Amino acid sequence: MTAFRMPAEWSAHEGCLMAWPVRQDLWGGVLDDVKEEYANVARAIAAFEPVTMVAPPGHGEEARTRCGEAITVVELAQDDSWFRDSAPLFVLDGAGNRAGVDFRFNAWGRKHSPYDSDDRISGLLLEHLGVERIPSDMILEGGAITVDGEGTLITTEQCLLHPNRNPGMNRDEIETELKSQLGVDKVVWLPYGGLLDTETDGHVDGVCAFAAPGKVVVALPDDPAHPDHARMRANRAVLEATTDAQGRPFEIIDVPQTAVVGIAGGEVEVSYLNFYVANGGVVVPVAGVPQDDDALAVIAAAYPGRKVVGVRAPAIAYGGGGVHCITQQIPAVPATA
């Protein structure tokens, strides 16, 4: 039996999964804005690959109307709308087989309730897709990891070692489960996620992402007085001092960390690192400010040959995430001889 491995996000996709937001108690006065942003993200990704929007029962027609004909809509029970974290993590083997790892989900350390439907949504999605389910008892969100598809996984200590996730597991046990379920050989532990990322306790997808084997894009605020500047420097130092699973030193590309934009009577930070890599494209959350162009140019250089598209996402940022947080890729199964 050939072992399963989680492919890199830039590998070929069969499509993208998203979840339609509906809960007034979670989104408050920005719910209508966030629906529009989800629809815009879905349409942007659909220019590159098929998108399936999963809506709670009774909300499918609204999702169809707002997203348009290019988006496939299905109805399944769910609580929230962050499929990077509640959807399955798909893995492939070398024999043309695909499976989905169904990790447990506890709403980022029980920050919201209910979350029992989101804990079950991975299994429902895999059943709907006809994909083999691989269960794991470990709590893990997809936004907490980034992989290169060649044996390396990067995560943050701030999130994965937080006592509100897996208090009965130590670092070695967590690392062993990651290696076993996702087919990785080396785990690189960055100390920090974003200081203001209190919703997820510092997911890696706001501060670091693989762009290619041996190449990472990392968040680095331009202002040394920014509260995350020293923390991101510490992350960078870890990457500079280690290698990937193949023994390669990391090429490190700095991306402006965030843009600040006003919404709902306050301000939020939009993370440029929280993007989605699609077939032939990269869909990036932007704030509608001049510095967006600088960030998009850096990301375009990091992903040559892909069209980079910015989508305004301040309402999604208000909810604690970005484009990456609300999407989950379904990797294509390579043809076998």
Which residues are catalytic, by number? 325
Q: What is the DSSP string of 53-74?
A: EEE-TT-HHHHHHHH-TTSEEE
CB burial string 107-120: b at 16+ within 10 A, e below: bbbeebeebebbbb
Burial of residue 264, with CB atoms counted within 10 A of its CB: 0-12 exposed, 13-18 middle, 19 or more buried: middle
Residue tagged 């098929």 (tokens)? 50
Residue 170 DSSP class: -
Burial of residue 67, with CB atoms counted within 10 A of its CB: 0-12 exposed, 13-18 middle, 19 or more buried: buried
What number of H helices and E strands is found in the chain? 11, 18
Residue 113 DSSP class: S
CB 73 within 8 A of CB 67: yes
DSSP strand pairing (281-286 vs 307-312): parallel
Rounded CA gap, 28 and 199, in Å? 16
